[in-house]
């Protein structure tokens, strides 16, 4: 089972999502990338389970979510690297590959390699080469906190104060890394 994010809604069953390559064979599924769909009618998915390869369905628990305003602000600030999976093979590789069961994953290498491959595919080779790890992440977090503090001192308005509060709170909880830089 994959981890879709830290947020969940309702019960265990309500919080479970399905990423799959079955397309319109599952009514109500939403296409999220070429040849990649999310959700749909679970009963239909279950009824077809005998003819479905496990490689075509990945259960996810939880989700990550942003308000429209927060996402717009983070996109404007350059927090996110935007990329589009232009081929079905790319989407399937990044979303459905069985890299979690590999020997490299046991040594904590696979997530780092997948992250670097995604950055390379997005045309961000210098960011892909940026060192990762607790020391580098902590240094990056401190640089960003200092930048946000200086911005807050320049323009003390409510939105900047809120942003600074979120950065400070994230700093206390630790930065998880992964698909975005701290904001």
Amino acid 167: pLDDT: 47
Distance CA 110, CA 136 (A): 19
**How are beta strands 2-3 and 36-38 bridged, if at all?**
unpaired
Amino acid 130: pLDDT: 79
Residue that has been written with the tokens 């809604």 in this structure? 9
Q: For the chain, first and last CA: distance in Å?
A: 28
Side-chain-side CA neighbours of 114 within 13 Å: the count stands at: 20
Amino acid 106: pLDDT: 47
Amino acid 29: pLDDT: 92
- Report helix, strand or coil for 121: helix
Prediction pTM value: 0.52
Amino acid 119: pLDDT: 81
* Tens of pLDDT, residue by residue, the chain (183 residues): 565 566 667 666 666 788 888 888 889 999 988 888 888 887 877 787 677 777 788 877 776 778 889 888 988 888 887 777 778 877 777 777 665 555 544 445 566 777 788 788 778 888 788 777 777 778 777 877 777 777 777 655 555 455 545 544 444 444 444 444 444
Amino acid 113: pLDDT: 76
């Amino acid at each position: 089972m994959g981890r879709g994010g830290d947020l969940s809604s309702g019960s265990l069953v309500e919080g479970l999502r399905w990423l799959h390559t079955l397309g319109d064979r599952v009514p109500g599924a939403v296409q999220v990338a070429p040849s990649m769909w999310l959700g749909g009618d679970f009963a239909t998915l279950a009824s077809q389970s005998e003819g479905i390869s496990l490689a075509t369905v990945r259960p996810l628990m939880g989700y990550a979510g942003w308000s429209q305003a927060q996402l717009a602000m983070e996109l404007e600030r350059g927090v996110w690297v935007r990329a589009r999976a232009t081929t079905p093979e790319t989407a399937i590789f990044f979303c459905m590959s069985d890299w979690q069961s590999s020997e490299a994953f046991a040594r904590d290498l696979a997530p780092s390699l997948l992250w670097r491959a995604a950055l390379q595919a997005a045309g961000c080779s210098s960011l892909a080469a940026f060192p990762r790890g607790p020391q580098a992440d902590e240094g990056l977090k401190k640089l960003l906190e200092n930048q946000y503090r200086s911005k807050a001192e320049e323009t003390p308005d409510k939105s900047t104060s809120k942003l600074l509060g979120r950065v400070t709170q994230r700093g206390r909880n630790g930065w998880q890394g992964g698909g975005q830089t701290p904001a």
